[in-house]
Structure 1
Amino acid sequence: MFDLGRSILASAERSPDAVAIIDGDFRLTYAGWLDRIRRLVGAFDALGLKPGDRIATALQNTWEMATIHWACQLAGIAVVPLNWRVKADELDYCLPNAEVRVLFYQDVSAEAVTQSAAARALPCVAVGGAEAADDRGPDRRFSDLLAADPAPAVPRATPEHVSLFLYTSGTTGKPKGVPRRHRAERAAAVAHVAQNCYRRGERTLGVMPLYHTMGVRSLLAMALVDGCFVCLPRFDTTRALELIAAERLTCLYLVPTLYHDLLADPRFAATDVSSVRKLGFAGASMTDGLLKRLDAAFRPELFVNHYGSSEIYTFTIDQNAPAKPGSAGKAALNQRIRIVKLGSIDPDDQAAVGEEGQIAADLAGDESFEGYWKRPDADAKALHAGWYFTGDMGLIDAEGDLFVTGRVDDMIITGGENVSPVEIESVLSLHDGVLEVAVAGLADERWGQRVVAFVKRAPGVQAKDLDDHCRISGLANFKRPRDYVFLDEIPKSPVGKILRRKLQTGEFALEGVPRQAPAVP
């Protein structure tokens, strides 16, 4: 099969004059982009890098970041993309852990680079206007690297080379390294094209970060269909709406939080979004209310719920998400899934139809990783008898569709009953006065845990209104929130995932109170 270096060469050969990447006023055709990619490979050679080496980035979604990613694929070098908000101690852990040879950074990550001993021990390359020189003198500049002679247009990787080295977010403890080979990355990109019905020449918003599996998939998929990746370095609803209209974007692939923010922007109603015909989401469950609002606002031809992970890109796909709210669909092109009884690590110990259990995916799938980097403890927890135990809970209904009901660790146990936060969030999201909601279990002397709803509300909405809504919704009484806490913002990760642990530890600001609030009494 093709490696990804051959993939970008093929795109440039098919459509040399098609616009490949846009970053503000900066535009490159596939022919022009390939020239810069080859020059960067030539610069890698001058730096002494070889196939199998690793470079790290701490960059936003810019044309430079995308160019580095593709140059690594052509050169057979693995890219280790780190969050541009990375802290010095995270660099001190990740850089030596991944055995990185060179680090690329920009102004937003320069302070962390300066403060990291591991970073300053490496050759560093400043992108854009970044400056983090120390007593060794100024760092190399990315613009200077592009002055190198272009390397031959010959791929140096095989499908077995490592393409990408992702670090999971690591909600507790150190993040886990996830090495992914060219064959798995390309299989995931091809599946993404097929499952989202992308046609040649699609145009997407490149805002999901390129240190996240969703961002990488958008980048690769656009190249496979000779499409255009329109960079948005940092999510901003005004700029996103401008780009959708001005660049006539045809498809969006975002986390639910970003869709929510787009619809909430007062400028949305006046923005021409008619070019967008395909919506996709991943990274978190989407509430029933948001699904309905998006379907009405965009009227897309295709609305895909994609469920997957860094380790195995796709678990399941539902190509008509609004038709069955909450459903993550059926196993994807390259995958098989099972629901394993809670507490079991035997993939053959399957739950009955409609019974909640842990979701497991077949490690033989084409998109799968092969294990965590230097983390036998993590392998022992997640990998069993050829199956990857996701840590997610779910059930399969009578029609064979998967419903993801939350994380195993997020399950609320109240009075001996298991309660899924996602179910309650979906019910509350249907109330017109709920702008955002997250549900968590807080310690309770009598019940063990009590169900608490944290809500970003419209003006005038009271707790009684929400409680009445739950009572008439059909939600079982023991699942009803016992407390409502009103916040200005729900705590989320950089890619929009709700951080329930922050709700449980009181790391939030109450509505109208610009400070950290104590835990709910």
Structure 2
Amino acid sequence: MTTAIEFHAGRIPDHPAIVCAGRRLSYARLYREACRIAHGLRAEGLGTRARVAYLGQESVHYYEAFFGCALSGTVLVPINWRLTPVEVEHILRDSGSELLFVDRALLRTAGKVAAASPQLRTVVVLDGTAGGRDEDAEQGFGGVQDFGAWKAAQPEGAPETVTGSEDPIVQLYTSGTTGLPKGVVLAQRSLFKIRDALAEEGLDWIDWRPGDVSLIGIPGFHVGGIWWAMQGFSAGVTNVAMPRFDSRRAVGLIRDLGVTTACMVPSMLRLLLGEPAGGPDAFRALRKIVYGGSPISETLLAECLEVFGCEMAQIYGLTETGNTAVCLPPADHVPGNPRMRAAGRPYPGVQLKIIDSGGAPVPTGTVGEVCLNSPANMLEYWRRPEATAETLVDGWIHTGDAGYLDADGYLFIQDRIKDLIIVTGENIYPAEIENVLVKHPAVADAAVVGVPDDRFGEAVHAFVALRPGAQAGPRDMLEFLRDRIASFKIPSRFEFVDRVPRNPSGKILRRELRDRHWRGRDRRVN
């Protein structure tokens, strides 16, 4: 990935590379700042494959840090800025991050967990001069440095290249079935192998043209966001980001900057369509929207095609597959086409199979577990060899999704074998929430499932069984969860029950809890 911005820095030095929150960096400036960061990381004593955490909203600094880490051979660990201190602490400790880039607004969060991360030697505060010093927030750290001053002290010029396509470049944390997020380690190849396969086959499923302006709708701590951004940087186009997604602001950026291509999740598309300032005139420059992260309804898709008036391509994959492995090309986005319900078909070089519970392939049209073998597959779950062996088997990622293939090789997703809930493209595992709920003194047992929601795709629904004689309501549960898990994971609905149904071995019977909410729908994803 580093060779791409070096190439564009020489070819189109003054062309805007990244625009965010009123700041704009050219390719030459982005490369120069990334080189300084690489030198700075080495000066801090960080060797190849050392972990560097980033806790902050989208900004030009995020991409400077990403490429700086890549140039130095270190691995960037982006952290969802909406997580609670407890969740941030787990990621810092588990990753072994030795340096942290942090927004000044989030410095207090980081300070609360510093003591539990003894390997964290250096903290570099982003935009430190803008907000002034906050000495109370800096307590607990061995040393806090201002990002601008720290960079300025480093030499210019490219450091010696120390990485290749198989070397790790980013470590993204996903929620786990055990309740503890796992670090998915992706190699540099994960960010360009699909692009190269499309180019070699001459396919325009996801393509780039001179003059393209790309909107990065998905945040950089998500695999979809970093993958999409890297496609744009590799192509040498202008990339537009927002500190956080805001549909009104997004409409303005699309209109005023002439955005031609964008990547978003379905819930973002729905919000765009609801904006008063939206409409064909605002979206006239758009030529293609790539969407994924959660299933999309046929009604929403038809409305998108009508209002946006551009090509659309659906992508399907996991963090573990390096993001997209399957695509529904623009040519299949025709109202009334039954393939509009499909996730798509594999990219060139990607293998897909459907297996039964015993691991044997099933016939066409038969539902089973979706397995993917992609050249972009993850290297491993960080320090989780058993979990890696369970998910990555002989080169195949076992997705936990249930689906089938039609006679033409198109994948249709029907349900989830795993208990994953997807809310606005964010992966949420019930166990993570249940493990916190049962710590409430009034709660005897709890179960969490995903139920259909017209706005967000799914909603988190909690079933709570109270202890004998205990009294508590939804407000008590909300108050208890507020500082313990991220806000997007907090259930929007609480249902108090006498008991949580379990099988003889003690496993929660989630399907029994989910079924009545999904009754009448022909698939168990929304």
Could you state the TM-score of these two structures normalised by the residue count of structure 2?
0.76
Which residue of the partner structure matches residue 375 of structure 1? Answer: 384
Distance 1:253-1:192 versus aligned 2 partners, 3 A rule: farther
Distance 1:28-1:102 versus aligned 2 partners, 3 A rule: same
CA separation in 1, counterparts of 2:2 and 2:492? 48
Which residue of the partner structure matches residue 82 of structure 2? Answer: 85
Which residue of the partner structure matches residue 4 of structure 2? Answer: 7
Deviates more, 1:243-252 or 1:84-93: 84-93
Q: 1:498 is aligned with what amino acid? A: E
* Contact 2:52 2:100 (C-alpha < 8 Å) held by counterparts: yes
SS at match of 1:269: coil
CA separation in 2, counterparts of 1:34 and 1:216? 17
Distance 1:371-1:403 versus aligned 2 partners, 3 A rule: same
Select the residue among 458, 464, 472 that pairs with 1:498: 458
Q: Does 1:353 align with 2:360?
A: no
CA separation in 1, counterparts of 2:21 and 2:493? 39
Deviation string for 1:115-159 (max 9, x for gaps)? 102357531111124643116576111111221233432433222
Q: Does 1:308 align with 2:328?
A: no
SS at match of 2:139: coil
Select the residue among 146, 171, 192 that pairs with 1:141: 146
* Contact 1:40 1:150 (C-alpha < 8 Å) held by counterparts: no
* Contact 1:190 1:221 (C-alpha < 8 Å) held by counterparts: no
Count matched residues.
433
Distance 1:183-1:263 versus aligned 2 partners, 3 A rule: same
Select the residue among 153, 162, 169 that pairs with 2:168: 162
Q: 2:368 is aligned with what amino acid? A: G
* Contact 1:22 1:228 (C-alpha < 8 Å) held by counterparts: yes
Q: Does 1:318 align with 2:328?
A: yes
Distance 1:198-1:516 versus aligned 2 partners, 3 A rule: closer
Which residue of the partner structure matches residue 213 of structure 2? Answer: 203
Select the residue among 387, 394, 399 that pairs with 2:403: 394
Which residue of the partner structure matches residue 506 of structure 2? Answer: none
Deviation string for 1:149-175 (max 9, x for gaps)? 334324332223211111113365111
* Contact 2:198 2:347 (C-alpha < 8 Å) held by counterparts: no
Once the two structures are TM-superposed, the CA of residue 409 in structure 1 deviates from its matched residue by 3.3
Q: Does 1:187 align with 2:175?
A: no
* Contact 1:57 1:82 (C-alpha < 8 Å) held by counterparts: yes
CA separation in 1, counterparts of 2:305 and 2:464? 35
Deviation string for 1:14-44 (max 9, x for gaps)? 2112111112322121112212112222222
* Contact 1:205 1:230 (C-alpha < 8 Å) held by counterparts: yes
Q: Does 1:240 align with 2:250?
A: yes
Deviation string for 1:267-302 (max 9, x for gaps)? 2137521111001111111111111000001121x3
CA separation in 2, counterparts of 1:126 and 1:232? 19
SS at match of 1:242: helix
SS at match of 1:68: helix
SS at match of 2:376: coil
Structure 1, unpaired ranges of 5+: 412-420, 423-439, 441-448, 457-488, 491-496, 510-514
CA separation in 1, counterparts of 2:44 and 2:107? 21
CA separation in 2, counterparts of 1:79 and 1:85? 18
Distance 1:409-1:88 versus aligned 2 partners, 3 A rule: same
Deviation string for 1:157-195 (max 9, x for gaps)? 222321111111336511111111122333245458864
Select the residue among 268, 280, 295 that pairs with 1:285: 295
CA separation in 2, counterparts of 1:401 and 1:74? 39
Deviates more, 1:112-121 or 1:308-317: 112-121
* Contact 2:71 2:161 (C-alpha < 8 Å) held by counterparts: yes
CA separation in 1, counterparts of 2:297 and 2:37? 43
CA separation in 1, counterparts of 2:218 and 2:99? 24
Q: 1:102 is aligned with what amino acid? A: L
Deviates more, 1:116-125 or 1:207-216: 116-125
Once the two structures are TM-superposed, the CA of residue 110 in structure 1 deviates from its matched residue by 2.2
SS at match of 2:31: helix
Q: Does 1:267 align with 2:265?
A: no
CA separation in 1, counterparts of 2:453 and 2:78? 33
Q: Does 1:58 align with 2:55?
A: yes
Which residue of the partner structure matches residue 415 of structure 1? Answer: none
Which residue of the partner structure matches residue 519 of structure 1? Answer: 495
SS at match of 1:219: helix
Once the two structures are TM-superposed, the CA of residue 331 in structure 1 deviates from its matched residue by 1.0
CA separation in 2, counterparts of 1:262 and 1:104? 32
SS at match of 2:327: strand
CA separation in 1, counterparts of 2:198 and 2:218? 15
Once the two structures are TM-superposed, the CA of residue 197 in structure 1 deviates from its matched residue by 1.5
Once the two structures are TM-superposed, the CA of residue 399 in structure 1 deviates from its matched residue by 2.5
Deviation string for 1:200-219 (max 9, x for gaps)? 33211123111111111122
Which residue of the partner structure matches residue 125 of structure 1? Answer: 124
CA separation in 2, counterparts of 1:317 and 1:189? 12
* Contact 2:53 2:78 (C-alpha < 8 Å) held by counterparts: yes
Distance 1:114-1:340 versus aligned 2 partners, 3 A rule: same
Q: 1:401 is aligned with what amino acid? A: Y
Q: 2:350 is aligned with what amino acid? A: Q
* Contact 2:314 2:328 (C-alpha < 8 Å) held by counterparts: yes
CA separation in 2, counterparts of 1:69 and 1:159? 16
Once the two structures are TM-superposed, the CA of residue 454 in structure 1 deviates from its matched residue by 4.7
Q: Does 1:45 align with 2:42?
A: yes
SS at match of 2:36: helix
Distance 1:115-1:386 versus aligned 2 partners, 3 A rule: same
Deviation string for 1:37-94 (max 9, x for gaps)? 1222222232222322210011111001111001111111110111012222223222
Which residue of the partner structure matches residue 155 of structure 2? Answer: 150
Q: 2:75 is aligned with what amino acid? A: A
CA separation in 1, counterparts of 2:451 and 2:183? 33
CA separation in 1, counterparts of 2:269 and 2:20? 21
Q: 2:285 is aligned with what amino acid? A: S
Which residue of the partner structure matches residue 459 of structure 1? Answer: none
* Contact 1:5 1:157 (C-alpha < 8 Å) held by counterparts: no
Name the Cα RMSD after superposition: 3.0
Could you state the TM-score of these two structures normalised by the residue count of structure 1?
0.76
SS at match of 2:172: strand
Once the two structures are TM-superposed, the CA of residue 239 in structure 1 deviates from its matched residue by 0.6
SS at match of 2:397: strand
Which residue of the partner structure matches residue 263 of structure 2? Answer: 253
1:468-479 → structure 2 map (5 Å cutoff): none
CA separation in 1, counterparts of 2:21 and 2:242? 8
